[in-house]
Amino acid sequence: MSDSVRTEFGDGIAVITIDRPEARNAVDKSVAEGIAAAIDEFESRSDLVIGILTGAGGTFCAGMDLKAFTRGERPALPGRGFGGLTEQPPQKPLIAAVEGWALAGGCELALSADLVVASREAKFGLPEVKRGLVAAAGGLLRLPKALPYQLAMEIALTGDPLTAEKAHAHGLINTLTEPGGALDGAKELAARVAANGPLAVRATKQIVSGAVRWTDAEAFAAQADLVGPVFASADAQEGARAFAEKRAPVWRGE
């Protein structure tokens, strides 16, 4: 694991923290490799249901580390994209817990998540056009799916930041917290998800995320492939028994 990425696992939740506060958590090759390794462990462990991606020191992520870039480093991994995440998000759900800036590639990391919890003082931005560049790590692809078309276009074309309050009003953010409370808010949301059947949560995330790209003809067949193993699982039987017996289910993830 990279020294610039910390992980914490427990109670069904994986917390992945970009830990370069001196560089506003800018992403270099080491960070990209650290995030990818953390995601791999999160995906492989049956005891982990949901993940949280956050940044240390009051900033989510300032994007690409330009100093590292000038040294020839590339903060993207083949097949996985910027930060080891944007082109291959996990199959399990992921929350972005945002304090301060989620800027450029940092905004694209946040947009790669399924849920967003942010401080009221957080700001999101894709300022690449101000530098004659293009936000090519998925931000321009995901933003119009998360926001009204005209607002997404304004943010993309002007490069101006979006406040957390406005992002929340338009549905980009699930929960607003007071400054310093984004990670705790994300953990609270994650705990509500982690209480559910892990196989069902994973399949549900895949169906909801796939629905925006499947055609009507593809959708039910793709859903059936994901749902079949869940209905045949021991957890499905346990959920039904627990309901009948009026007790909390004990999930096995199988």
The residues annotated as belonging to the active site are 108, 128
Tell the residue number behind the tokens 């056009």, with chain if given.
129
Neighbours of 82 (CB within 10 A): 27
Q: H/E/C letters for each residue in 77-135?
A: ECCCEECCCCCCCCCCCEEEEECCEEECHHHHHHHHCCEEEEECCCEEECHHHHHCCCC
- Alpha-carbon span 63 to 19, nearest angstrom: 13
Structure tokens at 253: 């993830």
Give the SS3 label for residue 54.
Answer: strand
Q: H/E/C letters for each residue in 203-236?
A: HHHHHHHHHCCCCHHHHHHHHHHHHHHHHCCHHH
- Alpha-carbon span 212 to 46, nearest angstrom: 27
Which residue type does 11 have? D
- Alpha-carbon span 238 to 247, nearest angstrom: 10
